[in-house]
Amino acid sequence: MRNDQLLPNLYRTEYRKIVAVLARLFGFEYIQIAEDIAGDTFLLATETRAKKLPDNPAAWLYTVAKNKAKDHLKHNAIFTNKVSPAVQYENAKSSELEIDLSEENINDSQLRMMFAICQPIISTEAQIGLALRILCGFGIEEIADAFLSNKETINKRLFRAKEKLREEQVKIEFPNANEINKRLETVLLTLYLLFNEGYYSSSGNINLRRDLCLEAMRLNHLLVNNKTTDLPAVNALFALMCFHASRFDARIDKNGEMIIYDEQDTSLWNDELISRGTNYLIRSSRGEELSRYHLEAAIAYWHTKKEDSTEKWENILQLYNKLLILEYSPMAALNRTYALAKADGKEKAIVEAKKLTQLVDNHLYHSLLGYLYTGIDKEIALHHLQRAFKLAKNKGERNRIKKNIEALG
């Protein structure tokens, strides 16, 4: 790796580990100090880069972080009186503070932090923002880009969220057995939304943000690999992510524009990820639980079937029917309408699409109607595509819609 890329890559991978371990050690009340120590560690790394970073920079960063944490414990009055006794109690068998940055403790700390962050007492946006910052190592500017916002707004949002978690005295720990399913639901929803933010990026000029998707998958995989959280819904969500990720390379063209499903080059689909997703979908079938993630994963599974058969679309349609009964959403209903068109024809789909009046201000709704009316009524198709073009906020999507308009024109 080139020297100018090394430090940004280390920041992304190691910052989150240092913060999770130190925050677990100090408690959520002092999470800002954990972030400051991690930040100071990388500040020193930036200054050292002008000379030369050690051969094992990650291990060196851990040593620097440990030393800075110990300095805080020695010289900060609040820490001396409040935090240090508790920390030293945990390390009673050792004559010196021990900061465990082993892979096992890092993973365990990140899992605990995941449950601490994903709390219904703060907004969904705040949960995702904190996950990006603390668990994924994203910078404030990157988070602002992901939310089409600015640094000031994001800083305020994260500050308020941390204050709320402190006020409620949220502990960085696993919930007990009675709480795990209830709390896990919020964790999974946060990871699901984080993945979706990358897969259907709302960023002005980016259609797909792989970094967000991969971080969601990494965190989900931590849950899968933990005995306490290796549950059916967790496996189903990971399967869903694998199936979607398998089509990354076919989904965006060389200009960064979206390629619709029907026009994707199936030879670019990742067979290894499809196989992996299938394995986790099978694992998710343990027990009698049926979650939205099971149904969405099954839908995504059928989308990885390369043949465009009636059986394929009929299965997808029936799965959407079950999903809407289990948990209705207008976007799921919109996707079902496309499956209906493929299974039973566009005329039936148009009838169903017209019922989705809550989506009349959504560009995807008009894009679908433009597709449904193509070959049936050119003027109506053009009307909906032009409406979709005006509503679309993403440059790549507007370019795609423009091409559809030109093809009809």
Check pLDDT > 80 for residue 202. no
Q: Band the pLDDT of 203: cuts 50, 70, 90.
A: low
Q: Where are the domains of the chain?
A: 1-101, 360-409
CA angle 133-134-135, nearest 5°?
105
By mean pLDDT, which of 40-49, 225-234, 236-245 is the weakest? 40-49
Strand partners, 258: 252
DSSP state at residue 141: H
Q: Band the pLDDT of 99: cuts 50, 70, 90.
A: confident
Mean pLDDT confidence for 117-132? 90
The pLDDT of residue 309: 92
Place of tokens 């020695």: 74
258: three-class secondary structure by DSSP: strand
The pLDDT of residue 4: 59
Q: What is the distance between the alpha carbons of residues 221 and 215, in angstroms, rounded to a whole number? A: 10
pTM: 0.85
Q: Band the pLDDT of 358: cuts 50, 70, 90.
A: very high
What integer best gives the mean pLDDT of the chain? 88
The pLDDT of residue 274: 98
Q: Band the pLDDT of 92: cuts 50, 70, 90.
A: very low
Q: Band the pLDDT of 161: cuts 50, 70, 90.
A: very high
Mean pLDDT confidence for 36-52? 82
Check pLDDT > 80 for residue 77. no
252: three-class secondary structure by DSSP: strand
Q: Band the pLDDT of 28: cuts 50, 70, 90.
A: confident
The pLDDT of residue 270: 97
HSE-CB of 297 using CA atoms within 13 angstroms: 29
Q: What percentage of the chain has pLDDT greater than the value 70?
A: 91
Give 93-102 contacts, CB < 8 A, sequence gap 24+: 97/69, 97/70, 97/73, 99/21, 99/22, 99/25, 99/65, 99/66, 99/69, 99/70, 100/21, 101/17, 101/18, 101/21, 101/62, 101/65, 101/66
φ/ψ bin of 345: left (φ > 0), alpha (ψ from -120 to 50), beta (otherwise): left
Helices 271-283, 232-245: axis angle to 10 degrees equals: 170
Q: Band the pLDDT of 93: cuts 50, 70, 90.
A: very low
The pLDDT of residue 86: 55
Q: Band the pLDDT of 87: cuts 50, 70, 90.
A: low
Does residue 238 or residue 64 have the better pLDDT?
A: 238
Check pLDDT > 80 for residue 256. no
Q: Buried b vs exposed e over 234-255: b needs ≥16 C-beta within 10 Å?
A: bbbbbbbbbbbbbbbebbbeee
Q: Which of 92-101, 199-208, 320-329 has the highest mean pLDDT?
A: 320-329
| Burial of 389: CB neighbours in 10 Å, binned 0-12, 13-18, 19+ | buried
The pLDDT of residue 89: 45
The pLDDT of residue 207: 63
Does residue 182 or residue 247 have the better pLDDT?
A: 247
Does residue 270 or residue 13 have the better pLDDT?
A: 270
By mean pLDDT, which of 85-89, 128-132, 302-306, 356-360 is the weakest? 85-89
By mean pLDDT, which of 36-40, 272-276, 370-374 is the weakest? 36-40
Q: Band the pLDDT of 94: cuts 50, 70, 90.
A: very low
